């Protein structure tokens, strides 16, 4: 996602707004996937090594990735513009769901799951450090 934001900044800086649409699609789909994943994983449940909500978020990611696979197989190696936009959205939303699941699981202490696109939704997470 960071790369998409960098590309978005470059094309906007160069005044090529038409070239930024795919980066906007990827960013928006990531945020939607992240928000859905955070909603799924924020359910209160008993403390467990592997919470059910993380499994549900990962199943959501799997569904999105299976949709991406099916779309890729149907459209072939050179999808039309609209199909490509849909494939980009599916993959970015899957990354957002995965980020939410990783947030729920906590991850190793040294791993920082915060990223520029995910920071607003993850700000309250104990895994995120806002200090240097």
Q: Where are the domains of the chain?
A: 29-122
Q: What is the pLDDT of residue 109?
A: 45
Please give the chain's pLDDT, 132 residues, in tens. Answer: 677 678 788 888 888 777 788 888 999 999 999 999 999 998 777 767 788 899 999 999 999 999 999 999 999 989 999 999 999 999 999 999 999 999 888 864 444 444 545 555 545 544 444 443
Q: What is the pLDDT of residue 44?
A: 72
Q: What is the pLDDT of residue 127?
A: 47
Q: Are 117 and 26 in contact (CB under 8 A)?
A: no
Global pTM value = 0.74
Report the distance separating Cα 71 and Cα 84, nearest Å.
Answer: 9
Q: What is the pLDDT of residue 123?
A: 52
What tokens were used for 4? 């998409």
- Give the C-alpha distances (Å, rounded to integers) separating 67 from 7, 23, 33, 61, 70: 26, 20, 14, 10, 5
Q: What is the pLDDT of residue 10?
A: 85
């Amino acid at each position: 996602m960071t790369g998409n934001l960098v590309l978005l900044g470059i094309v906007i800086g160069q005044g090529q707004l038409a070239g930024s649409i795919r980066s906007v699609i990827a960013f928006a789909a990531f945020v939607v996937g992240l928000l859905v994943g955070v909603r799924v994983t924020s359910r209160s449940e008993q403390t467990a090594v592997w919470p059910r909500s993380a499994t549900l978020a990962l199943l959501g990611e799997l569904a999105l990735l299976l949709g991406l696979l099916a779309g890729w197989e149907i459209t072939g190696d050179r999808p039309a513009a609209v199909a490509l936009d849909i494939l980009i959205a599916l993959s970015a939303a899957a990354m957002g769901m995965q980020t939410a699941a990783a947030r729920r699981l906590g991850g190793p202490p040294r791993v920082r799951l915060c990223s520029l696109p995910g920071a607003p939704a993850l700000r309250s997470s104990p895994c995120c450090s806002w200090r240097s």
